[in-house]
């Protein structure tokens, strides 16, 4: 059964045998968020993979970073100024590289080949675009939390749960119990037990996520031979 925030809070209190005089709603929210963040750091989820498109403007080397970006996967550039269109991937560089080899961006223009972090809101590309180009940003987004009361546009309401709470309840519960026992200064053997349970659930979760990225048997060229069963 999928977890709601209320169900999850109840299970945490039941498993730890601690009531809400100690595990208040605010404390539980912190425990749950810490558990969710640990999962997101320990394993990449397909549900958090996202794409955004943007346009590079002639003479402007800055690209706005998506507000929900957690980490970048790749940046692809599409040159629509030629026929057929040409698509290439931009290579990530350090800002110091840009400063050294593209120290006069106003005069060093061309088809962008590199990108680098500029600040919390922008990337910078080089050379400076000499025309208009389309880019696709493939990135891992900041996941929503089951504790969130305000969701990003297009996200499901927190009352409907999250990808993790709807599909991987054991993983989420064990992550939260590890955090809860750490907060409660609980018995070391119980903390160790739930840490082990979390790691086993995480391994299964990671294997499943990797499996979803593999090509299916039809695409891999595996011939499916019908089984011949003898007549009774």
Q: Are residues 89 and 167 in the same domain?
A: no
Q: How far is CA 188 from CA 18, 60, 191, in A?
A: 16, 57, 5
Question: Half-sphere exposure of 27 toward its Cβ, with a 13 Å CA cutoff?
Answer: 16
Q: What is the pLDDT of residue 218?
A: 46
> Can you read off the two tokens belonging to residue 118?
């500029």
**Cβ burial, residue 47 (10 Å; 0-12/13-18/19+):** middle
Structural domain tally of the chain? Answer: 2
Q: Are residues 70 and 122 in the same domain?
A: yes
The answer to pTM > 0.85 is: no
Q: What is the pLDDT of residue 187?
A: 93
Q: Are residues 38 and 152 in the same domain?
A: yes
**Strand spans (E) along 44-149:** 49-56, 62-64, 69-79, 86-89, 91-92, 109-110, 114-117, 122-126, 128-129, 133-141
**Domain-embedded: residue 162:** yes
Nearest C-alpha neighbor of 161 from the set 23, 51, 7, 18: 7
**Domain-embedded: residue 183:** yes
Q: What is the pLDDT of residue 228?
A: 52
pLDDT tens, residue by residue, 156-175: 444 467 889 999 999 999 99
What is the Cα 219 distance to its own chain's centre? 26
Q: Are residues 94 and 154 in the same domain?
A: no
Q: Are residues 170 and 134 in the same domain?
A: no
pLDDT tens, residue by residue, 202-232: 999 988 877 655 555 444 555 444 445 555 5
Q: Are residues 83 and 97 in the same domain?
A: yes
The residues with which 174 forms a beta bridge, in sequence order, are none
Q: Are residues 201 and 149 in the same domain?
A: yes
Q: What is the pLDDT of residue 107?
A: 85
∠ Cα 29 142 195 (to 5°): 55
Looking at every residue in the chain, the average pLDDT score rounds to: 86
Q: Are residues 161 and 201 in the same domain?
A: yes
pLDDT band at 190; cut points 50, 70, 90: very high
Q: What is the pLDDT of residue 101?
A: 82
Residue 61 sits in which domain range? 47-141
Q: Is 76 in contact with 112 (CB distance < 8 Å)?
A: no
Q: What is the pLDDT of residue 225?
A: 47
Q: Are residues 80 and 160 in the same domain?
A: no
Q: Are residues 54 and 120 in the same domain?
A: yes
Q: Are residues 16 and 97 in the same domain?
A: no
pLDDT tens, residue by residue, 106-164: 888 999 999 999 888 999 999 999 999 999 999 988 888 999 876 554 444 444 678 89
Q: What is the pLDDT of residue 155?
A: 47
Q: Are residues 154 and 107 in the same domain?
A: no
């Amino acid at each position: 059964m999928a977890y709601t925030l209320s169900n999850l809070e109840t299970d945490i209190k039941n498993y730890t045998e601690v009531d809400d005089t100690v595990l208040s709603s605010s404390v539980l929210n912190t425990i749950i968020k810490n558990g969710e963040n640990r999962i997101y750091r320990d394993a990449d989820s397909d549900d958090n993979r996202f794409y955004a498109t943007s346009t590079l403007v002639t003479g402007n080397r800055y690209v706005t970073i998506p507000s929900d970006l957690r980490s970048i996967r790749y940046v692809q550039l599409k040159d629509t100024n030629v026929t057929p269109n040409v698509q290439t991937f931009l290579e990530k560089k350090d800002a110091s590289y840009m400063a050294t080899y593209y120290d006069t961006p106003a005069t060093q223009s061309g088809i962008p080949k590199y990108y680098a972090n500029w600040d919390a809101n922008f990337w910078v590309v080089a050379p400076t675009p000499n025309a208009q180009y389309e880019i696709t940003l493939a990135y891992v987004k900041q996941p929503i939390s089951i504790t969130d009361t305000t969701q990003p546009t297009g996200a499901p309401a927190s009352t409907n749960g999250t990808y993790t709470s709807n599909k991987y309840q054991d993983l989420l519960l064990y992550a939260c119990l590890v955090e809860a026992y750490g907060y409660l200064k609980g018995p070391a053997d119980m903390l160790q037990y739930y840490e082990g349970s979390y790691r086993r659930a995480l391994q299964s979760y990671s294997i499943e996520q990797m499996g979803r990225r593999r090509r299916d048997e039809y695409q891999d060229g595996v011939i499916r031979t019908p089984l011949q069963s003898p007549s009774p």
